Amino acid sequence: MEIITLPVLFEGDGMKFYIYPAVIKTQEELILVDTGYPMFLPILEDAFRENGLDMQKLSTVVLTHHDHDHMGAVKALAGKYPHVRVVCSEVQMPYVLGQKKSLRLTDAENKGADEDFIQMIKSVEYLDQVQPLNDRDSIAEGVLAIVTSGHMPGHLSVYVEPEKTFISGDVLVVEDGKLAIASEQFVLDKEKEIEALKEIRELDIEKVICFHGGEYVSENMKEDLAGIIAKGYN
């Protein structure tokens, strides 16, 4: 088993930064965790090619949650590669399917966010079908879904047990080379965020892959997480 982190460049509205979708490569299949922004499918395809990966062998897309930067390209991907199954947490399903209004959109409108940001959220195309996952469900052998609510209800992370690797989605970030709690600005439930980190700390982890910030490796991950939990949002 191998995990490939894909540094994907976002450029727009005067901003330039990388996001980090991850691919889990087993003997039988490729599993992609998150797809990036709307219109990102060609960029994802280029990233696959550059890393010697074949999109035709992609079997599963795991959506950690329905934010525009995580599921923005999934509709286009599912349309072009109809053999790919898309999974998310059961709680996130109605948002991924567009049956409920985006929580991020509601939050942005309530906070009077920039109109360009609101329009970006509104540009997301929703799926026609998705398969649900619950906490500790198996995605593939040795690959577990871990529900980590806080950033959003039903936010999903992925634990690759044989590799001692945790793909965090947005529950954790890497800032200036250090592992950190998700930005308070975008966390919908701070108490649940802390509770999720406590559960993560119980796992045997040596590497965390964060959608924002990339990879973080530590021989003292439990201590690192304990420090993050203790500090919280103070």
**Whole-angstrom Cα distance, residue 232 to residue 18?**
25
Task: Report percent pLDDT > 70 for the chain.
Answer: 99
pLDDT at 10: 80
Q: Is the pLDDT of residue 79 over 80?
A: yes
**Whole-angstrom Cα distance, residue 193 to residue 155?**
10
Q: Is the pLDDT of residue 15 over 80?
A: no
pLDDT tens-digit map of 80-95: 999 999 999 999 999 9
**What DSSP string describes 134-183?**
-TT-EEETTEEEEE-TTSSTT-EEEEEGGGTEEEEETSEEEETTEEEEPP
pLDDT at 16: 84
Helix axes 103-110, 115-122, angle to 10 degrees: 160
How many helices (H) and strands (E) the chain has is answered by 8, 16
pLDDT at 226: 97
**Whole-angstrom Cα distance, residue 171 to residue 189?**
11
Domains of the chain: 2-231 (3.60.15.10)
pLDDT tens-digit map of 129-157: 999 999 999 999 999 999 999 999 999 99
pLDDT tens-digit map of 34-76: 999 999 999 999 999 999 999 999 999 999 999 999 999 999 9
CB atoms within 10 A of CB 101: 11
Sheet of 156-160: strand order equals: 138-140, 143-147, 156-160, 165-169, 207-210, 214-217
Task: Report percent pLDDT > 90 for the chain.
Answer: 93
pLDDT at 28: 87
Q: Is the pLDDT of residue 11 over 90?
A: no
**Whole-angstrom Cα distance, residue 157 to residue 25?**
17
Q: Is the pLDDT of residue 13 over 80?
A: no
pLDDT at 136: 97
pLDDT tens-digit map of 113-133: 999 999 999 999 999 999 999
pLDDT tens-digit map of 198-222: 999 999 999 999 999 999 999 999 9
Name the pLDDT band for 234 (thresholds 50, 70, 90): confident
**Whole-angstrom Cα distance, residue 156 to residue 24?**
16
The tokens for 74 are 């999934």
Q: pTM of the prediction?
A: 0.96
